[in-house]
Amino acid sequence: MAGRTEVHDALLLRAVDYRDADRIVTLLTRDSGKRSAVARGARRSRKRFGGGLEPCCVVRVELGPSRGELWTLSRAAPLRVFPALVADLRKIALAGACLGFVREVTVVGEPVPALFDAIVRLFERLSEGPASGALLVAFEAHALGALGHAPLLDRCGRCGRAPAPGQAALFDPAEGAIRCRRCGGGPLKLSAGARAALLDALGPAWAAPFALDAAGRVSDVTSPDPRLAVAEARVALDRFVKHHLGRSLVTDALWAQIEGAASHPVAHERP
């Protein structure tokens, strides 16, 4: 551990009360990756930390040496806040799920600037418009790509054959790739709209692959049933992540909270 104070732009992934007055925080810094630190006196004094330990904001932190694996958080000040995000429970739930997912799958001390930037973009999108299942799925796909775990969706994972434009594909979560029928196919069917949206989510324009309208509804004209395309993408990613990383980003309860209990599209297994 360094013997001098370091200054980083960071995102708060988690804060846990510790002893009588302290907090243990998990941070994602843009240039040094995930760090854990003890914020001494954080529960008593707001002067040093102010709003810097609030969720869903970009903060500048000062980290000093400590004992063991923990750094010492000496100061945290907000750089960017997102009032429209933290005023909406569904938006908070979506952002919290994404931050929890990032906390679980990132490695201490390994910077992933693209992932940091994606979280900031997520906060911006949630400030600009509604929470939606489409945005949640898009973030998960993009985060996997930033971490080097992107599923292979543009060609067969065995023979390399690419599906025709506008063609559905069969996805194998265990292989993390689509498989053509010549190579045995896969257990999950991805419509052309779902596959195209996931491919877009792996790119720089990830925040709008499902073409959301102003009300947060999916308006992707490439799919005859856009909400089903989102559901198909969700199931495919969920099974892929569970198989390879051992956890899921999107629980049924969270999905119901974000999408509303009235409608739950169900992705179909391969016949």
Radius of gyration of the chain (CA): 20
The answer on pLDDT for 217 being more than 70 is: no
For range 66-89, the mean pLDDT: 90
Burial pattern 54-78, b for ≥16 Cβ within 10 A else e, equals: ebbbbbebbbbeeeeebbebebbee
The answer on pLDDT for 139 being more than 70 is: yes
Render pLDDT for 159-183 as a digit per residue (tens, 0 to 9).
Answer: 999 998 889 999 999 999 999 999 9
Structural domains for the chain: 6-82 (2.40.50.140), 132-259 (no CATH)
Question: Could you say which DSSP state residue 64 is in?
Answer: E
| pTM for the structure as a whole | 0.85
The answer on pLDDT for 267 being more than 60 is: no
